Amino acid sequence: MTTLYPKFETSPTSQHPDSSSPFICTEQLSLYYGPQPAFEQVNLAIPAGQITSLVGPSGCGKSSFLTCLNRLTDLISNCRVTGRIRLGNLDVLDAKTDTTALRRRVGMILQKPNPFPLSIWRNLAFPLREHGVRDRAQIDEIVETALQDVGLWDEVKDRLKAPAQSLSGGQQQRLCIARALALQPEALLMDEPCSALDPISSGIVEDLIAGLRSRYTILVVTHNLAQARRIADNVALFWLQQNSGRLIETGSVQEIFEAPKSSITAAYINGVRG
């Protein structure tokens, strides 16, 4: 358990994950809500330290795919996941896997900014405390680092005790990213993190995600192809086939946008379909 649950570092040395090996690998991964498949037989290797973008039309299982990776599917009744997910040498779907530790390693950002109805400071301190960081000075230092990482520190350092709900939408989303970063994860799962924001805030959050490249493995679901092209290293296209989501093609941004192998991909990126 010690390797799975590393100690908190007060000032994390910026890790440079080995990008040659995949961080997460799925094998024949399928997810069903009752009898209805959300996606089936997805084999995807997510390179470490890079930004991988999941694109495709609505309802093809992109968000459901994300929720498998940190076992948030456990919360949904009637939901069944088959196949394998490997994270290093950890079998994610194994019933014995410690989901608390897993979710600390793999953070998640939801579509709508949803800071807890607490103060700005406590939004970050509360999860830290629950993960066993009791020392006030250490908490303060981690909070400051995380807020600086998302470019929020200068905006909020004088009102850390103010309610998080008093922040603007874009600031709230950056606070949520900081809340995930404070737990010092290795990967971040982002489910359309910009789509509920105004264009300016969206641009700021997008730049922030791009800036986190190489320090974290990032998986971002987006409807915005232009955004995927701007920030991603790799793109994976999901598509609805026979009423269930399928992984159609994966590749680097250049491959997908300049030389797609699948005709579906070509039609999608040219705006003919989807």
Q: Please give the size of the binding site for another protein, defined by CB under 8 A.
A: 30
DSSP result, 154-209:
HHHTT-TTSBGGGS-HHHHHHHHHHHHHHT--SEEEEESTTTTS-HHHHHHHHHHH
Closer residue to another protein, CB minimum distance, 41 or 114: 114
Query: From the list 104, 174, 225, 239, which residue makes contact with another protein (rule: CB under 8 A)?
Result: 104
Query: From the list 84, 86, 131, 229, which residue makes contact with another protein (rule: CB under 8 A)?
Result: 131
Distance from C-alpha of 224 to C-alpha of 229, rounded to nearest angstrom? 9
In whole angstroms, how far apart are CA 26 and each of 60, 81, 235, 240, 250?
17, 12, 16, 19, 13
Residue 219 interacts with another protein (CB under 8 A)? no
Query: From the list 84, 86, 112, 229, which residue makes contact with another protein (rule: CB under 8 A)?
Result: 112
Residue 62 interacts with another protein (CB under 8 A)? no
Residues 172/164, Cβ–Cβ less than 8 Å: yes
Across the beta sheet with 244-252, what order do the strands follow? Answer: 90-91, 79-87, 22-33, 36-47, 244-252, 234-241, 51-55, 217-221, 187-191, 106-109
Smallest gap from Cβ 70 to another protein, in A, equals: 6
Closer residue to another protein, CB minimum distance, 132 or 199: 132
Closer residue to another protein, CB minimum distance, 12 or 127: 127
Smallest gap from Cβ 9 to another protein, in A, equals: 17
**First-residue to last-residue Cα distance in the chain:** 44
Smallest gap from Cβ 259 to another protein, in A, equals: 36
Smallest gap from Cβ 41 to another protein, in A, equals: 25
Distance from C-alpha of 90 to C-alpha of 220, rounded to nearest angstrom? 22
Smallest gap from Cβ 43 to another protein, in A, equals: 24
Binders of another protein in range 143-182 (CB under 8 A): 161, 163, 176, 179-180
Query: From the list 9, 27, 91, 130, which residue makes contact with another protein (rule: CB under 8 A)?
Result: 130
Q: Mark the segment that binds another protein (CB under 8 A) among 23-31, 42-50, 109-117, 263-271.
A: 109-117
Smallest gap from Cβ 62 to another protein, in A, equals: 16
Residue type, 185: P
DSSP result, 5-24:
SPPPPSS-------TTSEEE
